[in-house]
Structure 1
Amino acid sequence: MKTLYDVQQFLKQFGIFVYVGKRKWDIELMSIELKNLYKAGVVDKPTYVKAQLVLRHEHHIEEVRDNQQK
């Protein structure tokens, strides 16, 4: 898993479709859903860690973008 799209496709395998309307919020909700899947034992640790790293990276990009617009 290397991109946000990869994480989205992974979550879709579990019937999780995320679209809140703002990219930053989508990323945050995907992180919550991924965490719930991991806690439920559906996702293994290596996959969870890779996906969370992608989400954190994308979230950071959005935060920087938001701060530049202010």
Structure 2
Amino acid sequence: MRQSFRSVYDVQQLLKRFGIFVYVGERLWDIELMMDEIKKIYQHQLIDQQTYLSAMAVLKKEHQWEKERSNKKD
């Protein structure tokens, strides 16, 4: 199952296929939890390396953007 991702929504759809729904209420925490779940799915060899790397790249980029955005609020 090789897949590339463009947005957090795409990653959420992948997680949903495994029955994983993430909503903590704080977007930054949601992204961090999604990163943990993607790592676990990859470690259990349920997704290939390219899918893992693509999903993590999207999540890391979005995580950084959210951190910068929250710093501007403060």
Q: In which range does the TM-score fall when normalised by the shorter chain?
A: over 0.9
RMSD: 0.4
How far did residue 18 of structure 1 move? 0.2
- Where structure 2 has 5 or more consecutive residues not aligned to the other structure, the ranges are none
Give the residue type in structure 1 aligned to 2:34: M
Give the share of equivalent positions with the same residue, in percent.
51
- Structure 2 residue aligned with 1:31: 35
Number of positions where the alignment pairs a residue of Structure 1 with one of Structure 2: 70
How high is the TM-score relative to the length of structure 1? 0.98
Q: Which among 50, 56, 70 is matched to residue 54 of structure 2?
A: 50
Return the alpha-carbon distance in structure 2 between the equivalents of residues 40 and 20 of structure 1.
Answer: 24
Q: Find the aligned partners of 1:43 and 1:49 in 2 and give their Cα distance.
A: 10
Q: Is 2:12 the counterpart of 1:8?
A: yes
Code of the aligned partner of 1:16: I
| Structure 1 residue runs without a partner (length 5+) | none
2:41 partner letter: L
Distance in 1, Cα, partners of 2:7 & 2:34: 13
